[in-house]
Amino acid sequence: MKYLSLFLILFLLCLNCELTGPSGPTIYNIEYEVTGFPPNKVNITYENESGGTSQYSNVSIPWSYSFVREKGEFVYISAQNQGESGSITVTIYKNNNIFKSSTSSGLYVIATASGTL
């Protein structure tokens, strides 16, 4: 009986720790941003708010898109430079902080950023 009581007390303590521990945010404000120099046209592919893929061609930059995603979900953006020179940068912001970013330079280069929230 003594061991059963001890086990029950330890179980309840562990359960309490799990319920009251820090969980952090479970929903994030996401912003995709594409910039470059000189401001050429780009082709953009990204994972949208429903988890599908969206694609746009010959987009003027700078460009941005905002939406909401949940913890554990995947985010992705890539942009391809359509100019003969220059650089392109893609950035993913999570709650207004840089989460992932990538820069590429040259003719028809692709910059890609992705991650799991």
Domains in the chain with CATH codes: 25-116 (2.60.40.2880)
- Looking at residue 97, its pLDDT comes to 98
In the chain, the largest separation of any two C-alpha atoms, in whole Å, equals 80
Which residues 6+ apart lie within 8 Å of 49 measured at CB? 67, 68, 69
CB 79 within 8 A of CB 71: no
- Looking at residue 100, its pLDDT comes to 99
Q: Which residue ranges in the chain fall short of pLDDT 70?
A: 1-22
pTM for the full model? 0.78
Which residues 6+ apart lie within 8 Å of 38 measured at CB? 83, 85, 86
